[in-house]
Structure 1
Amino acid sequence: MWPSGGRHLWPSGGSSEMQSHARGHLVYAAGGVLSVHTEHGTWIVPANRVAWTPAGFTHRHRAHGDTDMRIVFLAPSLARLVPDRPAVFLASGLAREVLLTLTGPSGDDAAPGHSRAARTRLLRVLVDELREAHEQPLHLPEPRDDRLQAIARMLRETPADNSTLAELGRTVGAGTRTLSRLFRNELGMTFYEWRTQLRIHHALVLLADGHDTVRTAHACGWSNPSSFIAAFTAVIGTTPGRYRAGGRSGPR
């Protein structure tokens, strides 16, 4: 799909099939929220982030909210300058403008009005901007252990569930110590870090669908909006209200 990249307008809930490409590609949501799913986990891509998927990685995209998706493929000479694994980067103002210019309104990534040489220079500027950007903690790793998978299913279905790890452990037949070790060894984070990440993912989806901050906070398990705002801002770089209103630029 999308051999030339470009601009793709997706309705909320739109999803691609599992696929892989011979060239690595960058994905940017000029509007809405995208998620990138691989066997290693899920990356969430709000409108101030850029997702990178290297060549050969099987993945699929899903739109949350009506989404203006921009795709730019990189030649191997540029792809070698960015990570050899999926990653999400903070999009600087310059990176966003280059992405919009490269994809344009015409549905392809030929940078209308620009020569091939100019487009090559724009791609190099884009890669340089991403190399200067910090990777963002928007990866939700996928557990392999059956017990962790059962917990993940329960929390995805009900993100507001505030059960402790011990309570969830009784449901899946494992002790707290065992589950804590599995979270650290398999996912590289604590249970509470993983659940917070899951909730931030869910919050981005709800905000993209038009829900307000208070409703989103309660739906994602925060007992009061101020705690949700603090957690959201720490990860996304802007408040839920500003994000929902379109103030998504975040810090450089």
Structure 2
Amino acid sequence: MQSHSRGHLVYAARGVLSVHTERGTSIVPANRVAWTPAGFTHYHRAHGNTDMRILFLPASLARLVPAHPAVFTVSDLAREILLNLTGPRNYDPALPAYDRAARARVHRVLVDELHEAQEQPLHLPEPQDDRLQALAQLLYDDPADNTPLAELGRTIGASPRTLSRLLHNELGMTFYEWRTQLRIHQALILLADGHTTTHVAHACGWSNPSTFITAFTTLLGTTPGRYQTNPRHPT
């Protein structure tokens, strides 16, 4: 889905979404909601059995949320508002529809909830340098590859010092941080497809499940097993 529309929220009531903009890719599991302001070309991709909800904010409220793409932790209240504002009452003529004033009030409560929420991005920035793009392609093709940066650099014709400098200057990350983020992105997709923690750990380059669980928990705040069992409320 590609759009130049006014700002909107996208939420996975079930499953995992990835949101791609010119700034990179954000993974949006079922305990988070993504905001994309007007003017950002983007597309969404669903992974696994996903129930995607999209809610457009009126301009008067859109100005109260960040002017950049963002991912927020979704509270229980925000989740229920999102589900109601995108649920059957909005398209089923047999059900009573929200009147305009009620919808405006509920929209405002949702924006207030987003104000209280912390930005919790699982963001993988998009490199611009040709050498970093080549490095990224190697990692996307095989996230389980544990080849050191120096050897990967020889493959693409760049020194590890140059690649480390580019990663710091362009993406604000070390190679280890970048590769870990990329692997966590892939892990969320595999978990959404129903793969076991052990399979996901090895498929994404961790030597054993315990090290994967530690890395996953650090970024997501919950274990892979708990997330997979109840992604809506994983804590």
1:128 shift after superposition: 0.9
In 2 relative to 1, CA 218–106 (structure 1 residues): closer, same or farther, beyond 3 Å? farther
Contact 1:104–1:112, Cα closer than 8 Å, also in 2: no
The equivalences for 1:199-210 within 5 A come to 199-210=183-194
TM-score (norm 1): 0.88
Structure 2 unaligned spans of 5+: none
| Alpha-carbon distance in structure 2 between the residues aligned to 1:176 and 1:141 | 19
Name which of 84, 87, 95 aligns with 1:104.
87
| Alpha-carbon distance in structure 1 between the residues aligned to 2:91 and 2:160 | 51
Percent identity at matched positions?
72
Contact 1:43–1:140, Cα closer than 8 Å, also in 2: yes
Structure 2 match to 1:43 = 26
The equivalences for 1:26-65 within 5 A come to 26-65=9-48
In structure 1, the residue corresponding to 2:168 is in which secondary structure?
A: helix
Name which of 219, 225, 229 aligns with 2:209.
225
In structure 2, the residue corresponding to 1:88 is in which secondary structure?
A: strand
Contact 1:26–1:71, Cα closer than 8 Å, also in 2: yes
Provide Cα deviations, 1:88-145, integer angstroms capped at 9, x if missing partner: 0111111101100111136659995432211111111111111111111311000011
| Alpha-carbon distance in structure 2 between the residues aligned to 1:224 and 1:135 | 30
In structure 2, the residue corresponding to 1:174 is in which secondary structure?
A: coil
The answer to whether the aligner puts 1:88 opposite 2:71 as a matched pair is: yes
TM-score (norm 2): 0.95
Structure 2 match to 1:134 = 118
Provide Cα deviations, 1:61-99, integer angstroms capped at 9, x if missing partner: 111012101111011111111111111011111110110
The CA RMSD measured in Å over matched residues stands at 1.8
Contact 1:238–1:248, Cα closer than 8 Å, also in 2: no
Q: Which amino acid aligns with 2:212?
A: F
Q: How many equivalent pairs are there?
A: 234
The equivalences for 1:118-197 within 5 A come to 118-197=102-181
Structure 1 unaligned spans of 5+: 1-15
Contact 1:103–1:109, Cα closer than 8 Å, also in 2: no
Name which of 52, 55, 66 aligns with 2:49.
66
